[in-house]
Amino acid sequence: MHLPWGSPRLRAAKDYGLAVVITFGALLARFLLEPFIGDQLPYVTFFAGVALATFCTDLGPSLAAVILGGLAADYFFLEPRYSFVLVGQANYVGLTMYLLTTLAIVGFGQTLRAFRRHAERITSGLQQEIVVRERVELALRESETRFRSVANTAPVMIWMSDMTKRCIWFNKAWLEFTGRTMDDELGEGWMELVHAEDLAQCLQVYESAFDARETFTMEYRLRRRDQEYRWLLDQGCPRLDPDGTFLGYIGSCVDITERRRAEAQLVESEERFVHWPTICRNSPGWPMPADGSFGTTAVGTSIRARRTRR
């Protein structure tokens, strides 16, 4: 059966194989020291082997290295040699000290490995989070760049504010309308151009909608670059990022001065029509019926039609 390289069983087999190789290396090293230390310090190289196996493998292979090292030292370097029989109290004490020491090494080493794996997981998670955040920030910057490019070509005036209610950006149309720079308008600078009679109401509508996170529509007068106050229709709505976090407000303004003038002229015209009978009655020579109505005259018909529509 084919096992993938990343399977747990294959990794375990590799770890146990590595523990055997490390123990064999410790055995060879002990043989190389034989001419110098004789039968003294039979476990000296196996301590290092267990420490290396603990650093490189998990708990099971590390314990296997402890057992293999103890057996190898007993068989090759303890009297009687080439036998697993222990003779003498010193050999029992030495084997006990070896087991206690190597088990302490394994315990300490596996604890360090656990901390290292935990730190690696945290680091990996942080790195992934950083990568994701950088990608999101890059996408937001690109999106904002595209938006500002489009907004600067729009025929309407556009503004943006942050979470503190302070304005952080105005498009080209706004700056051309006011004749001021971006720095002049940022923060609360734009308020300097609002007509004094409209400023309080303007701020009240804006701040109330901002606190409630609601859209708003308001009209106010703003001073144009030629010092003329023009009526604007300002519509604003909350600005959110992709996960719904509130970022501030965005709004657009349209010059409605001509519309308001047309409406005022229409109201004035209607008022003249309403008072036209009185004017005609007081004008000598005007053909006025006895009942004071316009009868079938064209003007009278027009006035009656307008009143009926009302």
Where residue 172 sits, what CATH number does that domain have?
A: 3.30.450.20
Q: At 308, list the tokens.
A: 């009926």
Out of 81, 106, 126, a domain closes at 126
Characterize the bridge pairing of strands 167-170 and 216-223: unpaired
Tell me how far the alpha carbon of residue 246 is from its chain's centroid: 11
DSSP string, 212-251: HT--EEEEEEEE-TTS-EEEEEEEEEEEE-TT--EEEEEE
Q: Does residue 153 fall inside a structural domain? A: no
Q: Does residue 149 fall inside a structural domain? A: no
Query: Which comes out higher in pLDDT, residue 257 or 1?
Result: 257
Residues 283 and 235 in one domain: no
Local confidence band at 289 (pLDDT 50, 70, 90 cut-offs) = low
Residue 172: give the domain boundaries: 158-255
Phi, psi of 249 (to 5 degrees): -130, 155
Residues 270 and 215 in one domain: no
Does position 245 have pLDDT exceeding 50, yes or no?
Answer: yes
Predicted confidence at residue 221, as pLDDT, reads 96
Q: Does residue 133 fall inside a structural domain? A: no
CA distance 149 to 249: 18
Closest CA to 220 of 209, 238, 205, 208: 205
pTM: 0.50
Residues 74 and 184 in one domain: no
Closest CA to 156 of 241, 81, 253, 87: 253
Give the other-Cβ count within 10 Å of 225's Cβ: 12
Out of 255, 273, 294, a domain closes at 255
Local confidence band at 1 (pLDDT 50, 70, 90 cut-offs) = very low
Q: Does residue 151 fall inside a structural domain? A: no
Closest CA to 50 of 77, 27, 84, 81: 27
244: left (phi over 0), alpha (psi -120 to 50) or beta: left
Residues 66 and 115 in one domain: yes
Residues 265 and 246 in one domain: no
Q: Does residue 232 fall inside a structural domain? A: yes
What sign has the CA pseudo-torsion 280, 282, 284, 285?
positive
- Is 97 within 8 Å of 39 (Cβ atoms)? no
Mean pLDDT to the nearest integer, 156-180: 94
What mean pLDDT is reported for the chain? 85
Residues 101 and 42 in one domain: yes
Residues 109 and 210 in one domain: no
What sign has the CA pseudo-torsion 280, 285, 290, 294?
negative
Q: Does residue 87 fall inside a structural domain? A: yes
Residues 171 and 208 in one domain: yes
Mean pLDDT to the nearest integer, 88-116: 90
Residues 53 and 103 in one domain: yes
- Mean pLDDT is lowest, of 52-66, 157-171, 224-238, 259-273, for 259-273
pLDDT tens digits, 18-31: 999 999 999 999 99
Percent of the chain as helix, strand, coil, to the nearest 5: 65, 15, 25
88: left (phi over 0), alpha (psi -120 to 50) or beta: left
Out of 232, 255, 278, a domain closes at 255
- Mean pLDDT is lowest, of 88-97, 119-128, 167-176, for 119-128
Does position 269 have pLDDT exceeding 90, yes or no?
Answer: no
Does position 103 have pLDDT exceeding 90, yes or no?
Answer: yes
Q: Does residue 235 fall inside a structural domain? A: yes
Residues 106 and 20 in one domain: yes
Domain count, the chain: 3
Predicted confidence at residue 102, as pLDDT, reads 94
Local confidence band at 277 (pLDDT 50, 70, 90 cut-offs) = low
Q: Does residue 102 fall inside a structural domain? A: yes
Residues 20 and 118 in one domain: yes
Residues 108 and 202 in one domain: no
